């Protein structure tokens, strides 16, 4: 039985839109089949579900499309399941997300034979139907959540914004349909809405990879037609999303940059961003140039208990219009709290003394052009998502690193202010020092101390340079990073969560002392605040804590996870996504280290470049153990950084035994740790 076509854009969907306001709640979003199709504990169906859970996550994460189906048993206890990870995920995060889904979903939908759960990074669905997916299955997805976050743009710019969003969503959908591997695409459009605090709109679209291009195109057009446009659910909405099994999309006004990882596949310049209809025009009329040729699907009928007929539509739509009107006025009253929730935690607000401090370190652009040879290519130190970094020399002879934000940079003015305020107020030997700032002639330049040996990854993962890092230096680097994080989390005037800690964001000075850099994604917490939630997950796969990657939850414990990954990288000399087991099969570093830790052979993984057998084995084992503690699945079980510093600094302190790291898969029956 193929998945049936129906949309639940009615009271249930409306409740979802109300309940899931960013900052108020987050992933996961489960959808349960109902009490009329249930199974009993310890039943055959439960056993078959366990078999599918043991194989599907590994199967999907190992596939190039990050998608798989699996089944076990025979009717009436047959279990069929599908797992689909977002197209910008990697194998490790896909494995973790789907494995977690098989833990969360049976709890959320107790003993339901038919259930679905949506995370930011993946979708999991299982059913007692014989076939979960069908190549002939077109039209809207079986379950479609439409979530409008109800944070609206100013009325005078609404029509223009809706046009930009519609053009971008349709262009991104067309690109996704044309992708033969993952049916996935990302998009970006220029949008000059400075009065509303953003200059970009970002989009993402995806279909189940087993669909044809035509089926994907038809599916996306259906949910776009039902949600995007004048009078539709997402009208004037800055951050909505529609989630389904067959297809899904979302778009978001950009402040912090794109919500997706990896490159942007579709770009619409401002000249192409004129108002456009939400869906392509009928075949008899020419479509706008920026619109892909996506035709709405035929009306869907039949299906499971969620199915709706045309008659039901006629009855429900007026009712929904009234509900939407009531909700609109309710949310207008709550607009200020909702708008605050849009930022998971407010960026740093400048005070008078902060402005004076920034004024005191202003450097004119002519000085920086002279210092860098007018930003000469020969002085380029590196390039990232926010811009390019150049080496320079000031007139007094001081060497500097100038971070030049490109005009198309995803780091906006607010992020720049955030990094300025943070770095200027933070003073610690293990943090990079801000020297100055320039905001002249449309340039946005941050000037840092020049750190001689550049970033840790350029030495640690280089076949020749890594030999410079003996055990003494590696131990010094690990301790320095830990002390820098302790200062950020516990000892500084501000309580700061970095959110993008990785080897390339740790710089090494002439004495190989580590300095944590790049605070563009950092957030400030209140002293008594323990965590925050964002609906825009930005960071680097492999270093992101699972609760952040999947649910948007971040805290000092998510930084601790990133630190633990780096400790294991420093000790082994291996990148977190480039490791191999005893059979020569590629697997993530955390899995490899854990397997050897359990077998008592973890010293075999120590980087032979750091001094052969001359290093103290006890100190190395202690570092590995601390690293494993930091990457445990439950954030509560991870140590705070002051405890890490204590454990690293004294062999008189007892270090507790670690549990499975969150990405541990081991064998077919292994299940990763429970997330907090």
DSSP letter string, 255-278: SSS-SS-S---EEE-GGG-S---S
Band of pLDDT at residue 208, cut at 50, 70 and 90? very high
**Does the structure show a pLDDT above 60 at 143?**
no
Q: Are 593 and 674 in contact (CB under 8 A)?
A: no
Selection from 20-29, 324-333, 496-505 with the highest mean pLDDT: 496-505
Please list the alpha-helical segments (H only) found in 11-89. Answer: 11-19, 44-62
Tens-digit pLDDT profile for residues 303-351? 333 222 322 233 333 333 333 333 333 333 333 333 333 333 334 444 5
- Report the C-alpha gap between 219 and 590 in whole angstroms: 38
Return the percentage of the chain with pLDDT > 90, whole number.
Answer: 36
Q: What is the pLDDT of residue 423?
A: 67
**Arithmetic mean of pLDDT, 445-471:** 91
- Report the C-alpha gap between 523 and 402 in whole angstroms: 23
Exposed/middle/buried for residue 361 (C-beta within 10 Å: 0-12, 13-18, 19+): middle
Residue 359 is among the residues annotated as catalytic for this protein:
no
Among 36-50, 514-528, 595-609, which stretch is predicted with the lowest mean pLDDT? 514-528
342 is in an annotated binding site: no
Of 364, 431, 372, 429, the closest CA to residue 399 belongs to 372
Of 203, 354, 401, the closest CA to residue 290 belongs to 203
Secondary structure (DSSP) of 386-422:
TEEEEEEE-TTS-EEEEEEE-TT-S--HHHHHHHHHH
**Arithmetic mean of pLDDT, 415-421:** 62
- Which 8-state DSSP code applies to residue 574? -
**Arithmetic mean of pLDDT, 260-275:** 71
pTM score, whole prediction: 0.57
Select which of 112, 190, 500, 518 is catalytic.
500
Return the percentage of the chain with pLDDT > 70, whole number.
Answer: 70
């Amino acid at each position: 039985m193929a998945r049936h076509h129906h949309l639940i854009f009615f009271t249930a969907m409306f409740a979802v839109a109300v309940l899931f306001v960013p900052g108020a709640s987050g992933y996961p979003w489960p959808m349960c089949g109902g009490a009329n199709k249930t199974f009993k504990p310890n039943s055959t169906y439960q056993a078959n579900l366990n078999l599918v859970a043991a194989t599907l996550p590994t199967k999907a994460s190992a596939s190039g499309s990050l998608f798989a189906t699996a089944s076990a048993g025979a009717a009436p206890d047959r279990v069929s399941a599908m797992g689909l990870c977002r197209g910008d995920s990697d194998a490790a995060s896909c494995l973790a997300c789907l494995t977690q889904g098989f833990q969360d979903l049976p709890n959320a939908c107790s003993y339901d034979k038919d259930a679905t759960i949506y995370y930011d990074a993946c979708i999991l669905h299982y059913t007692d139907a014989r076939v979960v997916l069908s190549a002939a299955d077109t039209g809207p997805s079986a379950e479609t959540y439409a979530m409008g976050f109800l944070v609206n743009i100013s009325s005078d710019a609404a029509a223009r914004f809706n046009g930009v969003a519609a053009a971008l969503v349709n262009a991104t959908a067309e690109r996704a349909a044309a992708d033969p591997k993952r049916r996935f695409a990302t998009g970006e459009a220029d949008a000059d809405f400075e009065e509303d605090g953003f200059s970009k709109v970002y989009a993402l679209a995806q279909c189940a990879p087993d669909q044809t291009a035509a089926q994907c195109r038809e599916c996306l057009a259906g949910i776009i037609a039902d949600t995007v446009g004048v009078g539709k659910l997402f009208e004037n909405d800055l951050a909505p999303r529609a989630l389904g099994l067959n297809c899904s999309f979302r778009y978001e006004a950009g402040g912090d940059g794109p919500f997706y990882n990896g490159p942007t596949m579709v770009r619409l310049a401002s000249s192409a961003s004129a108002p456009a209809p939400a869906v392509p025009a009928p075949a008899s009329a020419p479509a706008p140039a920026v619109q892909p040729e996506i035709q709405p699907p035929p009306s869907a009928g039949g299906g499971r208990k969620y199915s709706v007929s045309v008659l039901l539509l006629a009855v429900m739509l007026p009712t929904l219009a009234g509900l939407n009107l009531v909700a609109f006025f309710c949310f207008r009253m709550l607009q200020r709290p909702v708008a605050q929730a849009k930022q998971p935690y407010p960026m740093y607000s400048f005070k008078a003394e902060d402005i004076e401090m920034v004024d005191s370190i202003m450097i004119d652009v002519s000085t920086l052009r002279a210092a860098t040879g007018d930003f000469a290519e020969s002085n380029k130190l590196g390039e990232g998502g926010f811009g390019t970094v150049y080496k320079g020399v000031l007139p007094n002879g001081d060497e500097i690193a100038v971070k030049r934000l490109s005009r198309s940079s995803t780091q906006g003015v607010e992020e720049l202010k955030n990094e300025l305020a943070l770095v200027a107020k933070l003073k610690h030997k293990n943090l990079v020092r801000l020297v100055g700032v320039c905001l002249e002639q449309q340039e946005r330049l941050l000037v840092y101390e020049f750190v001689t040996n550049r970033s840790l990854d350029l030495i640690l993962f280089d076949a020749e340079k890594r030999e410079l890092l003996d055990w003494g230096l590696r131990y010094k680097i690990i301790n320095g990073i830990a002390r820098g994080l302790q200062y950020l989390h516990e000892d500084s005037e501000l309580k700061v969560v970095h959110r993008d800690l990785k080897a390339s964001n740790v710089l090494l000075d002439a004495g190989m002392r580590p300095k944590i850099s790049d605070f563009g994604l950092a957030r400030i917490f209140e002293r008594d605040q323990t965590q925050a939630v964002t609906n825009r997950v930005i960071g680097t796969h492999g270093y992101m804590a699972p609760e952040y990657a999947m649910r948007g939850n971040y805290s000092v414990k998510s930084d601790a996870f990133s630190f633990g990954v780096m400790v294991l990288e420093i000790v082994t000399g291996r990148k977190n996504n480039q490791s191999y087991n005893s059979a020569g099969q590629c697997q993530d570093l955390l899995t490899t280290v854990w397997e050897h830790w359990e077998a008592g052979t973890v010293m075999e993984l120590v980087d032979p470049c750091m001094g052969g057998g001359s290093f103290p084995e006890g100190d190395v084992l202690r570092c590995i153990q601390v690293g494993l503690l930091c990457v445990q699945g439950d954030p509560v079980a991870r140590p705070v950084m002051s405890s890490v510093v204590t454990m690293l600094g004294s062999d008189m302190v007892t270090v507790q035994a670690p549990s499975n790291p969150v990405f541990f898969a081991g064998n077919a029956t292994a299940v990763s740790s429970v997330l907090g």
